[in-house]
Structure 1
Amino acid sequence: MYSRCGDIEAAFQVFNGMGDRNVISWTSMVTGYAKHGFAVRALETFHKMLEAGVRPNEITYIAVLSACSHVGLISEGWKHFKSMSMEHGIVPRMEHYACMVDLLGRSGCLEEAMEFINSMPFNADAFVLRTFLGACRVHGNINLGKHAAKMILEQDPNDTAAYILLSNLYAYTGQWDEVAETRKNMKEKNLTKEAGCSWIEVENKVHKFYAADTSHPQVLEIYDELDQLALKIKELGYVPNTDFVLHDVEEKKEQYLFQHSEKIAVAFGFISTSKSKPVRVFKNLRVCGDCHTAFKYFSIVKGREIVVRDSNRFHHFKDGKCSCDDYW
């Protein structure tokens, strides 16, 4: 619970105080460290688990492989992927293959990842292929991205996520005609994109925000805080990255960036929580790259830790750095 809520140190305190640890408690700790991007701690915990004579299960290895993927430990990942069956008799499931595709894809080894997909003992499901397509988006590989999208849509012509990832890939590379065509196809199939939203809990109440949100009672204070933050972080060297504006607009791109839901939620956290506590924000989609950069500057300007959990992992921003070392 503590690790899922963003407090990994409290999770460790509970784990450390346990008199008897079974495979579930060990795996929960390994998973927690992996989700928070602390791969070294995750792997150390896994090795201590083995030394304690606790036999890992399928879930343990998903956590171990995820930890490797979050920091790009390719050789370490391969070692564990092979040892799970050779040393522990655990047959890799689709989730384990997805972790390896994620590891290779994040690292930019897209050709190797596709070879791995083709060598799987069963047909890759949509999750594995979406993982690969997401990596193509991160690394801007149009050809492999289109190939992956085609494979997904052959399985399910109405896979909304495939259209969204493909559209974002086109937008990232400035192919706006293809973006328009992809969105037209979605509209014809009545497919809608999941709206990006971020939320924060303050005094036992959850406050949810969407992009360009103006519905909150403290909207004027929130945007005033964002305006001040924008000025201060520019003085420190922040440069808006308009590559993350996924709409074909020539003007006001910077304004779009400062209307992202996660920036609004963090700004609200600054004005409504104690300065001695971290600001903890959750988002349903992958955190925006520009927001990720901005939050590092925010942590310097405000002198506060910011913890953001997106669809993949937790990011801990402190003193101008992120726990992911800009690898996510």
Structure 2
Amino acid sequence: MHYISTLIATVIAIVLGMGLAPLLDGISRKVKARLQYRQGPPIVQTFYDLAKLLRMESVLPTESRLFVLAPYIAFASALAAMTTLPIGTIQPLSFTGDIFVFLYVLAMVSISMMLAGFVVPNTYSGIGANREMMLILSIEPVLGMGIGILALLTGSLSLIDIMRGIATLDFYKLLFAIVAYLLLMYAIYVEGGFIPFDVAEAETEILEGPLCEYSGRLLGFFKWALLIKRVVLVWLYSSLIVIPIVTALKLGAYLSFIVTFILQLFLTVVMYVGIAVIEALNARYRIDHVISYNTRVLLVSILIFIVVAVSVYV
């Protein structure tokens, strides 16, 4: 029975990643259009855009195999990251230490895009790849520190156990958990490449950076992977909010799954709408400002991690 439920959750995770990502992007585009007094495209427009790209042949500006493989690696990594997150109360790929797997496969999406930009003899691609590298080095550790603080507080290296353990924290540890949530909120927003932190692609500045030489099917898979990555990040945060609450309610197994899944889905949509509002009201930051902000947050996260480690284990 356990294997059947895990298989079902895995299928749901993959379908969610592939289907929810374009849908939420369409909702985001619609919200931003309304805020700017435009009609905007239909909500399903992103599906049409991806379908059109996937039907087209790609023009290859280089003979490098990495240029061709990078979009598929990014796409597979994004889906793999989705399967490490809880779907309802079931985590498809759950084991001790799965937080490291989650961070690694999620980072592979950004690394794939960075490497793809470096293998092309194009100035804009190189600039975008350099920016992506700086973002990886400055924000990935913040994401890891945020999850690491929660892991220290709950004494677990499994995502689902960490989320359930948050419901049992005492008041003192809960204060540290709230700080970790704030760090994760910042890290997830920046990692998702939402405006004003979309400095690596920057369509109006460096023509989408690492993606400017991509076309057709390869571009379609890259864009799809980046959209799935955003859903993964927002779904992670919604799960960190929903699962501790449902765990504290102590509902039955089936009811917990249904309630958790519905709340995860609802909160993910709500957060995506909120992000769309922020994007519509802000302009892109300069890369040096972004790195400066990330560095400051990283230093704060390291300090908090050390304080938590000392208070918990000493």
TM-score (norm 1): 0.24
Q: Which structure has more strand as a fraction of its residues?
A: 1
Structure with the larger helix share: 2
Tell me which structure has the larger Cα radius of gyration.
1
Q: Give the alignment's TM-score, normalised by structure 2.
A: 0.25
